[in-house]
Structure formats: C-alpha cells, structure tokens
Structure 1
C-alpha cells in the first residue's frame, strides 16, 4: 500500500510548489496597488537564493508583468523600484534565466527607466542592467543600439557612488571591439571616468580602472589621450603607478599594471621611462609571482573535483586569463598556466565547451613548438586529453600537423615526454580513419616503434602497445597495416611474449594478437607461424586468468565459422590440441573465461 501512495504524494508536493509560484504571479494583477506592491515585495523575498523559484516564476510569466508595472507612469516609485529589484534577482539565477529576460526585452525597458528622475529607481535599474550585461549570454551590442544611451549613462555617473560602480562595470563588460572603444571615447569616457580613480569607494576605483584597461587595449588613440590626463593635479600614469603599490589589493595592482603595459605598447609611454620601468620591473615581477600562485591554486583545486572545475571555467574571463598565461614572458607563469589547463582538461564537459569555445589547442600547440622540458611535459599531457575521441578539438589539432611533433616527442631523452608523445598518438588512433593511422605509422617508422617496444620505461611500453592495439582495429585497417608492417609487428609480439614482462604488458600484447586474428588476411600471419601458435597455447594454460582470456579470445577469432578458410584453420588447431584445451577451459571457475571457451567450442560444433 505504501508504494501506491508514493507517486500521488510527490505530485501533491509539486502541485503545491507550482501553486505557490502561481499565487505570487496572480498577486501582480490585483486591482489594489498596495496589494500589488506587497506581492512584489513578497516575491522578492521568495526568490532570493532560490533558483528553482526563480525558474518557476519566469515560466509562469512573471517577467512581462513586472516589466509592465516597471514602465507604467501610474505605478508608484516604490513599486517600480521593487519590480527592478526582483528582475535583478531573477537575473542572478542561471544563464537560461538571463536568456528569458533578454527575450522579454528587459534591456530596453530598464534603459527607459533610467530617464526617471528618482535616484533609487535609477540605481535599481542600473544594478539589474549590470547583472544582465555581465552574463556571457547577453549580446553586448544591445547597449549600443540606441545612440542616446551611452551619453545618458555618462551623465548619470555623477549621481551617486552606486551609479558610478554599476555604469563603469557595464562599460568594462560591454567594450569588446575597437568600435565600442571609439563610441565610449567619443562620448567622453576618459574625462568622465578619470575622476573616479580617486573615489573613496574601492568598488568604484576598481571598476573605473577596469574601464581604462579595456579602453586602452590595443588602442593607440585612447593610450595617447590617457598620457595627458590629470586626476586631481596628478598625471594618470602616476595614478596607475600608485595603484600598483604592494599595499593595494592584488586585483588593483594587476589591472593598473595592465593599463600601463597597454600604454607602453601603444608608444604613449617610453619603454625607458624610469619612473615606470623601475616600478614595472619590481611590481610586474611581484605580479608574475601572484599569477603563478593563482594558477597553481586553481590547478590544485580543480584536479579532482568536477564542480570546482566548472566554477573555475565559469568565472568571468578566467579561460582568457589562463590562455594568455601560456604566452607570458615568465616561464614559471607559463608552467603554472599550463598546469591549470591540464587540471581543467580532465573534465569531459570542459573539453566539449570551454576548451572548444576558446580554441585552447592553438596556444597549446604554439607552446609545444619551443619550451623547456618541464613546460613541454605538462603541455603534452594536456594535449593528450584534447585528443580524446569526444573532444571537438581533436579534428583541428589533427589538421595542424601534430603527428610529426608527437613522433618527435617519442624520441626525447625524457621518459615523461616519450610517454606523452606515444599516449597522444594512442588517443589519436582510437577509432581514427585509415588515412590517420597510415600517417601515424609512416611518421613514427617501424624502427622507432621497435625502440619504443623495448623502452626501459614500462609506461612507454604500455602506451606503445595501446597505440598498436588502436591502430590494429577494424578489419580493413588491420589487413592494410599488417600487409605493410606485419613481419616487424609479429617479431615485436614474439619478443614481448618471450621476455620478462608484467602480466599487464603481456595481456595487452595478446589483445593485439587477438586483433590481428580478426583480420581477413592478417590472421594468416598467425596461422603460418607455429611458434606463435604454441605461445598462444601456453598462455591459454597460464595460471593468470587475464592472460588465459586474451589468448582464448585470439583462438576464437581464428576459428570463427563465418569467415573464409575457417575449416582449414579449425582442423589445424584441432591437430595441435587446442580443442582439448578449450574443452577444459569450459569448466573454468572464472565465468568470463568459461563463456569465452564455450563460445569458441560452438564454432567447432556448428
């Protein structure tokens, strides 16, 4: 009876939640303005920190009604403000919430609200606009659609510290192109924002500084103008130098250094200017140490936790910062950045999204062309992950001519680089087309393949066997590769099966042999090699179940009934005593081995 009650109970709870959300929306339509106001206030309290409630209200149509009330001249200033606050809270939910708000034309409505004389309402609209615009899913171009918006925002900068903070934050997030820089510059951004650098509010100073960093980025006109700007009688460049002092917050130091760097690159400040050079040399060294420490910390945090990796990549501009770190002048920063990237690359989701969106493979490939071994090891480890089957970066990396580079890594004196080179090739060969496999074999060469199969490092040997196993999959590929390199591969298999190697190495080798046995013509290389057949018989009787299973799988492929010449192969193997061994293995205590032996025996009985 209890089971029968379970479903209705769940439905009633869900209905109760939906009914509560519906009640909030219904109250927005009450004819009594005071009840509407109280309804909006109650809704505000209900959605704080509750993403599920936010989503419910959006689905139930709260947004259009809130926007209607916000735009009505007949609504009281308090009601309009509370509507803006609720909309801002809804915007702090998921990216889907933001998309829904933008689709409901929230941006034009809020921008229109900025024309109201009421400062508290203006601040609420700006706070909501700030939240919407800092989301990566909001098209920043919407800020520039109406040419009257930017000058009006400039005029609002003097109203309060809150308007200064929100507007400068909107500008810094929505300045993405040279055209955006020009629009802001032409409407007096420099003159209006410069005084905010000495605001008593840290948030205002910081947002103003970020504005200057995006305005000056690769922009000669802005940089040349900045160099002559005075802030309370002090040159702007000196203000930036002061903001880089060690007693300032790290974020401020780094952003101020960025502004000075952009001005130097544009030629606005001489690179030998002593007051800047000495400060940059000292503080940029400190900044490098800070960036290195930050990247290391992120790498450590994200190494084993998927949720943390997701939070790191979703942090504003974080992927851009990590990617830019790969080309830093400081080797230590480059190493820390690639460590961070390697940590994040352990996530399937991030490989499919952030890594693809930011084309991470490009700077990574550039880094691999010329770097110290310690950087190469970490960069090549990351590349291994980018070459996994499900990674969208795999195709463009292949097209960039990476095979030759990876083959060269397999010849390194460093065991770690040899492992990574062969590991990346192994990942590349997984379910690859024939053209890629042939190119890998051609570039690597059979001599190098043999050297890797006798490598003193067991990890190199295992990954080389993994590469061979991936190359020798799909019958046409098996036959094509074995027709060209069969003699050498069979020699390598023989040496490993006869040598002193671990169970794992021998199991992998027997699996390769089983793949060869699955080829149409390649299987003849085994059937005509009595010494190899005796080795397979030996391993079918081995004390280790993994080796028995792999060897039995090989025989199963050789005697499969549906293939040409199966009767002759069955007869030969019967004469060599394989049927007796198979019959014995059908009684094995291991169920997998027993089932495999029974399957093979059925080929004889069919």
Structure 2
C-alpha cells in the first residue's frame, strides 16, 4: 500500500511548496526553494517531475530579478545546478528553457557565492554535448571575465577550466583564449595541489594547442614557477601520477609536437611522451584509457618515420595493439547482479561500442606505424590473425571502424609482396 501511495504523496507534498515559489513573501519563497532543492537531491525521478511541472521558468525569473534578495537568487541557482546533475534529457530541457544565458548574466554580479553557484551549474551543463558551447566565446569579454574569477576559489578554478575547455572548438576560439591570457592562467593551475583543478586545465590546454601552431608555440615558451610548461607536462606524466593525468599531459605534448612547437627529436617526445602512451595501451589499463592512448599514439607517430620505428620496438607495442582487436567483455559481475531487460540491452550496446572504439584505435595506430617503413609493415602483417581482423573490420557495422580498417589496409598495401602473400593464405 505504501508503494502505491508514495508517488501521489510526492506530487502532493511538492505541489505545496511549488505554489509558495510564487509567493510575494520573500521568506516563504526562500523556504519553498530550499524545500524544492532538498527534494531533488539524489533523485532523477524527482528532478524530472519538477522540470515537467514547469518550475524552471520561475527559478530563472528569480535568478534574473535584480530586486530579489541575493539569498533567494543563490538558492534558486543551486537548485538549477542540482537539476542539471540529472540525466542528459534533464540537461537538454534546461538548455531549451534558456538556462545558460541567465547563468552567464549571473556572473556579472558582485556576490561571490552567487557567482560560484552560477559557475557550478554552467560547469555541469557544459559537460554535456547538448550544451550551447558557442555562447562561451560569442561575447569576447566572457572568457576574459571567466579568467578573472579564477583566483577567488578552487571551485572557480575547476569550473572556469571546464567551461573554457567546452568553448574551445575552433581556431578563432583558441586564438581568443590565448590572446586573453588563458595560457599563463592554465600553467599556474597545472601546479595546483588539487587533482580536480589540474585535470580540466590539462584538457583546456590540449584543446587550445590542437592543430594551432601559434598557440602551441606560446604554450611551449610559457612558464610558471621557474619551469616551462612542457617541463610541467613531463612532470605530470610521471608513473606515480594518476594514469588519467599522464594521458592528458601526453596529449598536450603530442598536440604541441604535431603543431610544430616541439620537435620529434626532443627528449620530452622520445623518452617521456612516447613511452607513456605505449604503456597506457597495455591490457591492465581501463578500456577507455587504452583507446585514447592508441588514438593519441597514432596521431603522434603519423608523419614521423623515426617515431614510427621507435614506437614499433617499444614495450611489445604491436602485440599490445593487436590485443585491442580481441577485446572480450568481462563476464564477472553481470551474472551475480540481477538486471532487467532494458539494462541488459543498454549494457550490450555499451559493450559493442567499446569493442568498436578499440578496433578503430588499433587500426589507426597500425596505419600510422606502417606508413613508411617496410620492416614495420612486415612485423604488423605477420602478427597473429591481424589480417583476419582487418578483413573483418572492412565489413563492420560501424562506418568509423570500416574507415579505420580501410586506412590501415591502405597503409599496409605499400608492402605489395607482403600483402599478396598474405591474401593468398587467407
């Protein structure tokens, strides 16, 4: 009986304080917002109910109203932030209702707590692909203002770096952030004692450097605390650092190299970045990490013969990459935990995507490694069952896997004699 009545009770109890949101009495309105905030914490179902009941426009009105007491504006913003921590569908609804422009306007206040609440909510929203990232650099003053908020708190640092990462999509975005002083700000945050500050800073630097010679050159010659940014990045690739951090730092250096700011002969590439990426391809690493490492390694070695040669003899890389093509999901917990058919379908879909990602990454890495050297191509072709996997990849349901397999075959096809012999055997 309790389970049947519970949804009705939830609706009725929420209805009472939702009505109070519209009260002209400030204290009643504030109390209603706090009740609403508490009701949605930890419950995606309740978040969906509140959004469906049309409460968000009222919260936005409260945040936007300059006549409202600041505490009401803060609590309303925190409630919006809690709603944004639901599902992607919830975030899409918030975006469609115009939450982002209101929050950006809220950053213009003099109230630190309100600014922080706005930043936290924006950070959550901008972690989703549905976020309107074009708004970040649309007004050239916004990135500059965001950078000015960094010194105020650790929370601000995390949020600003995350938001700027999301907004850095084009060459114009990269150049704007660079011209407004993002590089020294991010360099300082690389030295933060807080992992949660360092990681978005690394991601932002990587986005800024990608295929941008000017920004990469600026990053390569910037320093903080007496150390150059490339040296700081090398320090973050140390084995005692979290592997996610090693990966992010290696990507930064890789992008700087490909943009012409760090040479292929630089020890930072030869003895730190390349070995780091090879190590992160190993079977003991998480699947996502192995995929990113292989993709980054493919990009690092794509155009340099010496890097291709060095990578091919590093730490059993060729058989390690071949293992990506033989990925099998772990059967362990799926049998001990009872799941419904929908969850089963979702899990299967996720496993299929992981397998496709791993195939694509492996094919791309093999294509880069075999681009120039006959001995490397021979080594790749002679790897157990590799050609079977490539032929299978050409028929994969995923277009991106098929494309990666074609590129891999095209790279290896420069060894005509090798392939002719191989296909005669197949």
TM-score, L = length of structure 2: 0.74
Q: Confirm or deny that 1:268 pairs with 2:261.
A: yes
Q: Confirm or deny that 1:285 pairs with 2:272.
A: no
Per the alignment, residue 497 of structure 1 pairs with none
When residues 399 and 320 of structure 1 are mapped into structure 2, their CA distance, relative to the original with a 3 A threshold, is: closer
Q: Confirm or deny that 1:335 pairs with 2:314.
A: no
Question: How far apart, CA to CA, are the structure 1 residues paired with 2:186 and 2:212?
Answer: 17
Of the candidates 59, 71, 75, which is equivalent to residue 52 of structure 2? 59
The alpha carbon displacement at 1:51 in A equals 0.5
Per the alignment, residue 117 of structure 2 pairs with 124
Of the candidates 179, 182, 195, which is equivalent to residue 186 of structure 1? 179
Per the alignment, residue 239 of structure 2 pairs with 246
When residues 234 and 325 of structure 1 are mapped into structure 2, their CA distance, relative to the original with a 3 A threshold, is: closer
Question: How far apart, CA to CA, are the structure 1 residues paired with 2:350 and 2:359?
Answer: 11
Of the candidates 186, 195, 213, which is equivalent to residue 202 of structure 1? 195
The alpha carbon displacement at 1:163 in A equals 1.0
Q: Residues 213 and 258 of structure 1 are in contact (CA less than 8 Å); yes or no, is this contact kept in structure 2? A: yes
Q: Which has the larger radius of gyration?
A: 1
When residues 346 and 361 of structure 1 are mapped into structure 2, their CA distance, relative to the original with a 3 A threshold, is: farther
Q: Residues 77 and 118 of structure 2 are in contact (CA less than 8 Å); yes or no, is this contact kept in structure 1? A: yes
Question: How far apart, CA to CA, are the structure 2 residues paired with 1:203 and 1:10?
Answer: 40
1:139-538 alignment runs, 5 A limit:
139-274=132-267, 276-277=268-269, 280-282=270-272, 284-293=274-283, 297-298=286-287, 329=311, 330-340=317-327, 349=349, 364=363, 371-372=380-381, 373-374=383-384, 376=386, 379-380=389-390, 383=393, 386-387=396-397, 413=425
The alpha carbon displacement at 1:81 in A equals 1.3
Question: How far apart, CA to CA, are the structure 2 residues paired with 1:123 and 1:250?
Answer: 29
When residues 359 and 264 of structure 1 are mapped into structure 2, their CA distance, relative to the original with a 3 A threshold, is: closer
- RMSD, aligned α-carbons: 4.1
The alpha carbon displacement at 1:383 in A equals 3.3
Indicate the structure whose relative CO is greater, using CA pairs within 8 Å and at least 6 residues apart: 2
Per-residue CA deviations over 1:13-71 (Å, capped at 9, x if unaligned) read 54333333433422211222112212211222211110000000001011111111111
Question: How far apart, CA to CA, are the structure 1 residues paired with 2:248 and 2:150?
Answer: 21
Per-residue CA deviations over 1:471-519 (Å, capped at 9, x if unaligned) read xxxxxxxxxxxxxxxxxxxxxxxxxxxxxxxxxxxxxxxxxxxxxxxxx
When residues 186 and 46 of structure 1 are mapped into structure 2, their CA distance, relative to the original with a 3 A threshold, is: same
TM-score, L = length of structure 1: 0.54
Runs (5+) with no aligned partner, structure 2: 302-310, 312-316, 331-344, 371-376, 414-419
Q: Residues 71 and 113 of structure 1 are in contact (CA less than 8 Å); yes or no, is this contact kept in structure 2? A: yes
Per the alignment, residue 465 of structure 1 pairs with none
Question: How far apart, CA to CA, are the structure 1 residues paired with 2:125 and 2:166?
Answer: 11
Per the alignment, residue 101 of structure 2 pairs with 108
Question: How far apart, CA to CA, are the structure 2 residues paired with 1:395 and 1:57?
Answer: 44
Q: Confirm or deny that 1:42 pairs with 2:35.
A: yes
Q: Residues 335 and 378 of structure 1 are in contact (CA less than 8 Å); yes or no, is this contact kept in structure 2? A: no
The alpha carbon displacement at 1:161 in A equals 1.8
The alpha carbon displacement at 1:286 in A equals 4.1
Q: Residues 209 and 216 of structure 2 are in contact (CA less than 8 Å); yes or no, is this contact kept in structure 1? A: yes
Q: Residues 157 and 164 of structure 1 are in contact (CA less than 8 Å); yes or no, is this contact kept in structure 2? A: yes
- Tell me the number of residue pairs that the alignment of Structure 1 and Structure 2 aligns: 378
Runs (5+) with no aligned partner, structure 1: 1-5, 299-311, 419-606
Question: How far apart, CA to CA, are the structure 2 residues paired with 1:215 and 1:398?
Answer: 30
The alpha carbon displacement at 1:233 in A equals 2.3
- What is the SS of the residue equivalent to 1:263? helix
The alpha carbon displacement at 1:262 in A equals 2.2
- What is the SS of the residue equivalent to 1:121? helix
The alpha carbon displacement at 1:86 in A equals 1.1
Question: How far apart, CA to CA, are the structure 1 residues paired with 2:182 and 2:254?
Answer: 20
